[in-house]
Amino acid sequence: MGSGLSRAIAVPIHGPRRQETPEFADGRHQYLVLDCPKASNCSSSASSTNMYNAHAFRQLVESMPIGVIHTDSEGRAFQCNEAFCKLTGLSQAEALGEGWKSAVHPEDREATLGKWNPEVPVKGSFAVSTRFLRPDGRAVHVSGLVRRLEEGGEIQGFVGALFDVTEFKLTQACLEENEIWLRSVLDSLPAGLFHATHEGSCTYVNSKWTELSGMECQEAQGEGWLRAIHPSDLESVQFEWHDSVASGRNFDFEFRFLRPDGVTKWVHAQAAPLMVRGYHLGFVGSVTDVTAAKESETIIEDYNLRTGEMAVELAETNYELERLNIQLETLATTDGLTGLYNHKAFQEHLRNMYQSGPEAIGLIMVDADNFKAFNDEFGHPAGDEVLKSISAAIKGSIRLHDFPARYGGEEFVVVVPNGEPADTAVVAERIRRVVELHNWPHRPITVSVGFACAWGGRPTFGELIQNADQALYAAKQQGKNCVVCWSSIPKAA
């Protein structure tokens, strides 16, 4: 051959567990054919040909993330990679020969395996989209390309590359279901809806639009919708549409539909640009039957008035929703009886202060003295009023940035930011004093107060609460109606 001609080199393809070249049933060996750019180079580089050995080829195929299968002309597999086995759920031994065919979903088997037929008049490659039914019962959607290997006009075998498209198929099915649902919703609306391109080519109309125009959905596609417009109005509608697009304003126009049954319908059409994530996707619009409005200006005025009312109602509804959302958020963090923050809000606030708050944190615990006896004597409604009054006394005694909360029952807490012991003691004593001096209706009410402080995250979150609780207990032991600091409590040696 001349130096400009090409030559092919046939490299034996070994089986997965054999060193010899695999054979078909008729004794023919399988080869991987490699093209050499120049015959002279091939003849002079015979030693380099050994690099294209079966082991290297098999390693390359095994490393690929897509499923690869190599079969003879009858579809019997003699090579497949690990990715293909993962798709089918079969081991390599199970997949070889006729085994891989059992993994094809029964509903797809005839159509899929029919393509692995040398008699089928398909040249070159053909696309495959099918399902594998794995032994674990899971269906895997795959898609890919199969190449027919020919030599001398005869089919020698097939090589296929398959991708797992299960997630895509599921997503596609979900989108189709959503589209069906959306179209059913749009078809139930009382206004005619449409979508069109900048040039006015229609891509969608709903059922109400077809009812007004007397035209079927398919007839309205493209420029078909223009045939529904009264001939006397067609030119002005087209001019108004293109002028609106060119000037960047919304389309707003009244014209007539001339239905196939001869009935004329006046419609008010409005359209605005459809923007999705910065992309202009044409125009969406509505058509409203204003036939009766054309006969009576009063109806027109009522229609405009009602439109304004709906806008006001919508604004009022949005305002009410915002108010309710704020109220719900408040209810989630507020004690219903006292109006103070609840236990959950206190825990979150104190944790946040430990993470990013001031160096010094003071924690005050307040407990109503002899409260159970009060409830037993005067009843729970009176007890509730006491709790409300104590809460009011606490709110009136603390600083602007202090955080009051109901800890539970007749216990209250106050988180004091920048709470050095002296500052925290002042707030604690002020609370005790205000409660004591309050004009109580049944009998005098007092509180016991204990407090503890933390600096630089020490003691820990839990230890700070425990220390304040111990100080409160000490105040109870010292006769109640007093303030005790945890650091002043004698500690066991």
CA angle 313, 319, 325 (to 5 degrees): 135
Q: How far is it, in rounded angstroms, from Cα 21 to Cα 30?
A: 7
Average pLDDT over residues 474-480: 95
pLDDT for res 91: 92
pLDDT at site 448: 96
| pLDDT for res 54 | 55
**Which of the two residues, 128 and 8, has the higher pLDDT score?**
128
| Nearest of 95, 94, 78, 92 to residue 21 by alpha carbon | 78
192-196 vs 251-258, strand pairing mode: unpaired
Mean of pLDDT values over 205-225: 88
Cα–Cα dist 390/401, whole Å: 19
Helix (H) or strand (E) segment spanning residue 333: helix 297-333
The pLDDT assigned to 13 comes to: 41
Structure letter (DSSP) for residue 46: G
pLDDT over 70 percentage in the chain: 84
88 confidence band (pLDDT: 50, 70, 90):
very high
DSSP string, 208-247: HHHHHH---HHHHTBTGGGGGB-HHHHHHHHHHHHHHHHH
User: Looking at 113-122, 213-222, 455-464, which range is the least confident one?
Assistant: 113-122
Residue 459 has pLDDT above 80, yes or no: yes
Q: How far apart are CA 367 and CA 14, in angstroms?
A: 86
pLDDT tens for 289-300 read 898 888 776 655
Instruction: Among 99-103, 185-189, 370-374, name the one with the lowest average pLDDT.
Output: 185-189
**At 461, which helix (H) or strand (E)?**
helix 461-477
The pLDDT score that the predictor gives to residue 300 is 57
The rounded distance, in Å, linking the Cα atoms of 468 and 475 is 11
CB 415 within 8 A of CB 472: no
Return the structure tokens found at 424: 């925290």
pLDDT at 401 > cutoff 60: yes
Given a cut of 80, whether residue 31 has pLDDT beyond it is no
309 CB-near residues (< 8 Å, 6+ apart): none
Mean pLDDT of 305-311: 81
pLDDT of 428-443, one tens digit each?
A: 999 999 999 999 999 9
Q: Residue 276 has what pLDDT?
A: 73
Q: Which domains does the chain have, with CATH numbers?
A: 7-154 (3.30.450.20), 189-295 (3.30.450.20), 343-488 (3.30.70.270)
* Per-residue pLDDT at 301 exceeds 50: yes
Give me the pLDDT at residue 266, please.
92
User: Which has the minimum average pLDDT: 206-210, 303-307, 315-319, 347-351?
Assistant: 303-307
Query: How confident is the model at residue 122, as a pLDDT?
Result: 65
Rounded to the nearest integer, the mean pLDDT of the chain is 82
Which pLDDT does position 17 carry in this prediction? 38
Q: Which long-range contacts (CB under 8 A, 24 or more apart) does 134-141 make?
A: 134/88, 134/89, 134/103, 135/89, 135/90, 136/89, 138/89, 139/105, 139/166, 140/87, 140/88, 140/89, 140/164, 140/166, 141/165, 141/166, 141/168, 141/169
d(CA 440, CA 143): 82
Statement: residue 117 has pLDDT above 70? yes
* 300-304-305 Cα angle (round to 5): 115
Q: What is the rounded distance in angstroms from the CA atom of residue 92 to the CA atom of residue 84?
A: 9
The pLDDT of residue 426: 95
Cβ–Cβ under 8 Å, residues 230 and 214:
no
Secondary structure class of 33 (helix, strand, coil) = strand
What is the pLDDT at residue 131? 94
Whole-number pLDDT of residue 296 = 73
Please classify residue 464 by burial: count the beta carbons closer than 10 Å to its beta carbon, then call 0-12 exposed, 13-18 middle and 19+ buried.
Answer: buried
| Predicted local distance difference test score (pLDDT) of residue 25 | 37
Predicted pLDDT of residue 125? 85
- Residue 244: pLDDT band with limits 50, 70, 90: confident
Q: How confident is the model at residue 30 (pLDDT cuts 50, 70, 90)?
A: very low
Predicted pLDDT of residue 55: 65
Q: For residue 467, what are the contacts with CB-CB under 8 A and spacing of at least 6? A: 363, 452, 459, 486
User: What residues pair up with 340 in beta bridges, in sequence order?
Assistant: none
Residue with the two structure tokens 């054919």: 33
The pLDDT tens digits for 40-84 are 444 444 444 444 455 666 777 777 889 999 999 888 998 899 999
Range in 9-13, 112-116, 121-125, 288-292 with the lowest mean pLDDT: 9-13
Q: pLDDT per residue over 257-267, tens digit each?
A: 999 999 998 99
* pLDDT value, residue 492: 67
Residue 15's pLDDT is 39
pTM for this entry: 0.39
